[in-house]
A and B are shown apart, each in its own frame.
Chain A
Amino acid sequence: MKRFFRPFINGILRENPILVLMIGLCPALAVSSAAINGIYMGLAATFVLVGSNFIISIIRKFVPNQIRIPIFITIIATFVTIVDMVMHAYAPDMYNILGIFIPLIVVNCIILGRAEAFAYHNSVIDSIGDGIGMGLGFTLILVVLGGIRELLGNGTLFGFQVMPVSFKPVLLMILPPGAFLTIGFLQALQRYRGGKS
Chain B
Amino acid sequence: MGEQIRTVDVAEVTRHIREMCIEANHFLSPDMESAMRRAAETERAPLGRQILAQLQDNLKIAGEDRIPICQDTGMAVIFLEVGQDVHLTGGVLEDAVNEGVRQGYTEGYLRKSVVGDPLLRENTKDNTPAVIHYEIVPGDRIMITVAPKGFGSENMSRIFMLKPADGIEGVKNAILTAVQDAGPNACPPMVVGVGIGGTFEKCALLAKKALVRPADSHSPIPYVRELEEEMLAKINGTGIGPGGLGGTTTALAVNINTYPTHIAGLPVAVNICCHVNRHIVRTI
Verify that A and B bind, or say they do not. Answer: no
Chain A contact residues, CB within 8 Å of chain B: none
